[in-house]
């Protein structure tokens, strides 16, 4: 990827976000397939720019990755290389820009990333320098300050802790609903359950979108269908190579405040929302064993039984309790298995299908962080004809090389 100057990148993002509506006349009719955080943010930006928008989802809003997401909003060191890091920085800036306008539920306060491993601790020191070069305020934190930043957390087993003050976390279900409600308030239609089943074309141009509720006349289709790996081939005539990456999260009942920031700790990550609910994420995948392999083959979006869900939650809470002793006897409201929308090389796919110019692909991981900037930038491409320069690294026709990053 080419190296982008951060200031130039953020200027371009801000210019795109503030640009006047790019829609052509007559009003373009756009169907957004997928009502996760990406489809919701894109729909709101489109409606705001004057398009006639219909959002559909075969299950309902925020029912897949956007429901089970850990929902950390960040541009930390693992977001490599520079161009991808800069896109994430623009995502964080986008949340800060939109939060007052839409009343998005974000808790800011930064993140603390700890390492007990000597090699990783050494790497963190190098990465802090890189983060600062790239415009972040990231720094190493000493024990005395940790006691102030997180008085209820025991960091004594860790060698190194890094503080990234810019980060936050959201409630991804609530945030998705806020974007959708704001889109509807601007005239967008939302239909659920409504499955995208096909695309009607005349001379290669989209004229309607076929759905389980009938045809919807349309000029453009946005595929914000997340981890649905066959959507590219079926609707964009373009294969989008993705890899399978399940992840588990657990949400507790509301609790008195114990955690003030996002904590990324060995084996577990957690944060506590403003409503008191603690969100836990597992760092490792499922424990080895044939039962897991068999279960995952069916791409489940829920655990098959409450008991199995609770086993996963208990594993996460035991890891968390070793750092936060106050986390005893947790009650869980929701324990989820979800599939990350993960293009094969780990980077977002953003752009019109090379085979169908009216079908726009918007599939990515770190989609919670990226939703505001993706909405702001893609609307320029979906409604206007100009290609947004900063998205050129993320096109669907790039050479995908398998990687396990991001």
Ligand X SMILES: Cc1cc2nc3c(=O)[nH]c(=O)nc-3n(C[C@H](O)[C@H](O)[C@H](O)COP(=O)(O)OP(=O)(O)OC[C@H]3O[C@@H](n4cnc5c(N)ncnc54)[C@H](O)[C@@H]3O)c2cc1C
The residue ranges that bind ligand X (CB under 6 A) are 33-39, 56-59, 63-66, 68-72, 195-196, 224-228, 231, 247, 249, 281, 338, 340-341, 364-369
Beta bridge partners of 252: 332
Nearer to ligand X, 148 or 404 (CB): 404
The minimum distance between CB 34 and ligand X, in angstroms, equals 3
Report residue 12 CA to chain centroid gap.
21
Q: Which of residues 23 and 312 has its CB atom nearest to ligand X in the complex?
A: 312
Minimum distance between the CB of residue 230 and ligand X, rounded to whole angstroms? 9
Is the CB of 154 or the CB of 195 nearer to ligand X? Answer: 195
**CB nearer to ligand X: pick between 5 and 355:** 355
Q: How far is the CB of 115 from ligand X (least distance, A)?
A: 18
Least distance (Å) from ligand X to the CB of residue 177? 12
Tell me the closest approach of the beta carbon of residue 174 to ligand X, in angstroms: 13
For residue 367, give both structure tokens: 């989609």
Residue 72 or 238 having the CB closest to ligand X: 72
Task: Report the residue closest to ligand X, judged by CB.
Answer: 36
- 197: its two tokens: 């089943």
Q: What are phi and psi of 215, to 5 degrees?
A: -80, 140
| Closest distance of CB 11 from ligand X, Å | 23
Place of tokens 């409630």: 171
Q: Which is nearer to ligand X, 127 or 312 (CB)?
A: 312
State which residue, 154 or 301, has the beta carbon closest to ligand X: 301
Task: Give the number of C-alpha atoms closer than 13 A to the C-alpha of residue 311, restricted to the C-beta side.
Answer: 8
CB of 246 to ligand X, least distance (A): 7
């Amino acid at each position: 990827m080419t190296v982008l100057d951060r200031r130039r990148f953020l200027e371009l993002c801000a210019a795109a976000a503030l640009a006047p509506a790019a829609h052509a006349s007559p009003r373009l009719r756009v169907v957004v397939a997928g009502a996760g955080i990406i489809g919701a943010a894109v729909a709101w930006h489109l409606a705001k720019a004057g398009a006639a928008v219909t959002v559909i989802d075969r299950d309902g809003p925020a029912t897949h990755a956007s429901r089970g997401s850990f929902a950390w909003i960040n541009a930390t060191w693992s977001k490599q290389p520079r161009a991808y890091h800069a896109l994430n920085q623009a995502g964080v800036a986008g949340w800060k820009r939109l939060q007052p306008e839409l009343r998005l539920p974000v808790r800011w306060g930064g993140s603390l990333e700890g390492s007990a491993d000597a090699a990783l601790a050494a790497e963190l020191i190098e990465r802090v320098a890189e983060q600062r070069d790239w415009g972040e305020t990231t720094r190493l934190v000493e024990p005395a300050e940790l006691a102030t930043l997180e008085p209820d957390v025991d960091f004594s087993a860790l060698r190194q802790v890094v503080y990234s003050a810019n980060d936050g976390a959201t409630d991804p279900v609530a945030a998705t609903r806020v974007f959708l409600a704001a889109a509807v308030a601007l005239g967008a239609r939302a239909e659920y359950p409504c499955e995208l089943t096909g695309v009607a074309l005349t001379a290669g141009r989209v004229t309607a979108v076929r759905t389980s509720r009938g045809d919807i006349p349309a000029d453009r289709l946005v595929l914000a269908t997340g981890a649905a790996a066959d959507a590219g081939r079926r609707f964009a005539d373009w294969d989008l190579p993705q890899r399978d990456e399940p992840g588990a999260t657990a949400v507790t009942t509301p609790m008195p405040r114990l955690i003030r920031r996002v904590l990324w700790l060995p084996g577990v990550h957690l944060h506590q929302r403003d409503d008191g609910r603690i969100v836990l994420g597992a760092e490792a995948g499922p424990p080895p064993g044939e039962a897991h392999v068999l279960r995952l083959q069916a791409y489940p979006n829920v655990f098959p039984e409450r008991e199995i869900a609770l086993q996963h939650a208990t594993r996460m809470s035991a890891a968390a309790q070793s750092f936060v002793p106050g986390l005893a006897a947790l009650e869980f409201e929701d324990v989820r298995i979800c599939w990350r929308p993960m293009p094969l090389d780990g980077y977002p796919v953003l752009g019109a299908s090379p085979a169908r110019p009216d079908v726009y692909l918007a599939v990515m991981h770190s989609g919670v962080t990226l939703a505001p900037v993706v909405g702001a930038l893609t609307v320029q491409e979906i409604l206007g004809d100009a290609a947004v320069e900063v998205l050129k690294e993320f096109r669907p026709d790039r050479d995908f090389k398998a990687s396990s990053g991001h």
